[in-house]
Structure 1
């Protein structure tokens, strides 16, 4: 597995610049599970056999988890340094993986294939026209190569704002709580 290196100092400098510009509420969004995206799964399979049966590519998601952990830790550290600032981190990876691992709970049926794409998992050729799109996008997690469907984005947005139905995506508080402070 490749090693991930993130210039945390640069991230901290950007936060400090925002702070000195009198910004007191900052929201960081983590990365989603790119190792589960149709294009990534297609690129990591071959024509005769499917890797993991079309499931997520672990080594890619492990890098996403590491990146999100580094950013989250930086947010916590900066929050302690800049006491009158409210800085939160929203873990989109965590929310999307809950959807992917429990699709029926959230009304999804297809967690691996793009709604709009051609080839294995809809990951070979992108969404070239509405004619290649699936009939029920709300049952798919992925719209195209890398982007979630409107249904997933709506679920994530509600969870990020209200703190539910996908719990604890944003920490230490939800965006709704942040805006009311």
Structure 2
């Protein structure tokens, strides 16, 4: 993998990853989508039917397969919590997309497909984000703030400030 996007749910990883891959003529992989393909089920169904532990085991397995591919990978919000060392040792550049909790809350209100966020209020979302924040920061090579920028502007910031080039 050339570049891995990490960050809390709603920080823009999938949106930015797709645009960045297109602009750089690279393959794009969304870890949650790839997990769904491997299981032939939606993420929320996997969580509901088998639980988070099973999901995290499957996530690690799919991640280890994808990491060998060329391109850009968008991870799930909790991926770093269970795969930090593996990500750090992957050789890929790791970019943290960071957003404040109000921006995240607004973005998540439009998306009911996130199993861990569906029943959380803003205080609970903030607490979950803070639980993960230290690992996000430890894992990241660079941080980009997504609150006030469009996805296109974030892509340009990443290209201008990272060691990633078109193929």
- TM-score after normalising by structure 1: 0.31
- TM-score after normalising by structure 2: 0.33
Structure ranking higher in helix proportion:
2
Greater RCO, 1 or 2 (C-alpha within 8 Å, sep 6+): 2
Name the larger-Rg structure.
1
